[in-house]
Each structure stands twice: as C-alpha cells, then as structure tokens.
Amino acid sequence: MLPEPLYKSLAQTLADAEGDRREIVRLTAEYPDLSVEDGYRIQDELVALKQAQGHRVLATKMGFTSRAKMKQMNVNDPIYGHVFDYMAVDDGVLYLHELIHPKVEAEIAFVLGKDIEGPGITGAQVLAATEYVLPALEIIDSRYENFHFTLPDVIADNTSASRVFLGTTLRKPDELELDLVGVTLSINGELRDLGAGAAVLGHPAHSVAMLANMLARRGQKLKAGQLILTGGITGAHPLSVGDLVCAKWDGLGSIEFVVKE
Ligand code: OOG
Ligand code: MG
C-alpha cells in the first residue's frame, strides 16, 4: 500500500508522460514494493483523470493473454486496462509525432449483447453473451523507457494503451471457430508475424471470461454493449515512418494503416 495521495500523483505523472510524449523510468525503480493492487489503484486514478478531461472509455482490454506476448515482455499474468475514445484511429493513419515508441499487435475483439458478472464465468457463457466479434490492431506505447516494466508498472500505465484500429467486418461468434481464426501481420509487404485465435488462452472467449472474473474481485462487471480487446495473438512490432501495416484475419477481413511523421 502507498500513501493515499500518491496514487493520484503517480497517475498524473503517467498522464503527463503520455501528453508530453516522454519516456519515464518505471515506477518500481522508486517504489520497489508497488503491488499489482497498487497498480490497479493508480490505473483507476488515471481513468478518473481522463474522464475529468472529458474522455470516455471506449473499450476494456486484456493484455499478456498469449505466450507470444508473455515471452516478449517477460511477464506471466494477464492484466486489464482501458482504451479511451481519443485512442481510436479511423482514417488509416498513425502519426508518430503523437506517440513515444509505438508497436502494433493483432487482436480479436468482442462486443457483448448481455451483461456478464463473475466469478466463475466460462468461455461458453461469454460466447452465449456475445453480440459479435471483430478484428482489431492495437497500438501499444509504454510510457516507460524501452518498454522496461514489471507487472505493477504496466498495470499503472494502463497496460500501454495508446491507439486502436477496429475492423469493419462483424461476425456472430458462432459463424467462426474463433480459436482457429488465423491472422497474418505484414509490414511493407513482408510477413512479420502470424498466429491463430487459440494463442489467446486457448480461445479468445477465455480472455473475456478471465476479465469478467478479474473484475468480479473488484466488485465490477462487464456490460451489454461493452467492447473488449482480448489481447495480442501476435507479438508486438515496432513502427517507423513510412511503414504500411496490413493485417488479415480469416473470416474477419483486414485492417491497413500507414505510419506518418
Ligand atoms: C502491455 C500491453 C499488453 C497485449 O495485448 O498483450 C497487451 C505491453 O506489452 O506493453 O496489450
Ligand atoms: Mg494488446
């Protein structure tokens, strides 16, 4: 536990780093005892701060739900965070001057048709409550130097949430075998990464179930209409000016964007 006012001031430090596009040293360098619970308390303050600025939560996101991501970032536990409305990009252009050191990863997103309240939620219950699924490319942009962080740090930093591109192909979950949906991620016509839905906890619906169960521990639930990113199927790939990024999902269409200065 940290002294109460520190949660807010650390959230402000992270928000300032995002606003100033400046890397900071991970919080655990100064507060080595920071716990996962502390991380979520700071994240809560960050959400409150953004909402006070007039921003809205657009989606809830899961992170570190695939082996590819856990291995890449050297962590073992799934985490959740929030994607705000200002993070959605809809003109196919990612501007690097707005960001620090962004990376792209391919995901599958869910939109719920019914509320889901844990604990004890299963993937089958999630699928029964899902209105549709769609593809998403998440842009993560850790506010920490070189993406160096521990689990409490990255939770406090809202799980590196930065931008999102949502696909326009919506499918009912029973129209696809989501675990078998293949995805390819190419940059400048060159295949960079690939995977299948099963990379995410065996099935992306398990990620939503886990989120519902994690939220239940904090007395929260998932609501009808809620958008959820289930976590990177592929690893995350750094971006440079001029890159043309194209990802394709079997049965869920594709998403393309260009990276500009
Ligand atoms: C944290 C974000 C993780 C995912 O899909 O695994 C994440 C990070 O890798 O910086 O969004
Ligand atoms: Mg992600």
Specify the ligand 1 atom closest to the Cα of 64.
Answer: 6
Indicate if ligand 1 lies below 6 Å from the C-beta of 158: no
Are the C-beta atoms of residues 178 and 53 closer than 8 Å to each other? no
Dihedral of CA 226/231/232/233: which sign?
Answer: negative
pLDDT tens digits for 5-40? 999 999 999 999 999 999 999 999 999 999 999 999
Supply the mean pLDDT for the chain: 97
Indicate if ligand 1 lies below 6 Å from the C-beta of 101: no
Domain count within the chain: 1
Return the pLDDT at 199.
97
Q: What is the mean pLDDT of residues 168-181?
A: 98
| CATH code of the domain in which 40 resides | 3.90.850.10
Return the pLDDT at 1.
84
Q: What is the mean pLDDT of residues 152-175?
A: 98
Instruction: Report the nearest-CA residue for atom 4 of ligand 1.
Output: 63
Cα distances from 228 to residues 25, 139, 211, 248, in angstroms, run 29, 15, 9, 19
Indicate if ligand 1 lies below 6 Å from the C-beta of 138: yes
pTM score, whole prediction: 0.97
pLDDT-based confidence at residue 76 (cuts at 50, 70, 90): confident
Q: Which domain holds residue 67?
A: 4-260
Specify the ligand 1 atom closest to the Cα of 147.
Answer: 10
Instruction: Report the nearest-CA residue for atom 11 of ligand 1.
Output: 63
Dihedral of CA 13/18/21/22: which sign?
Answer: positive
Return the pLDDT at 104.
98
Q: What percent of the chain has pLDDT over 70?
A: 100
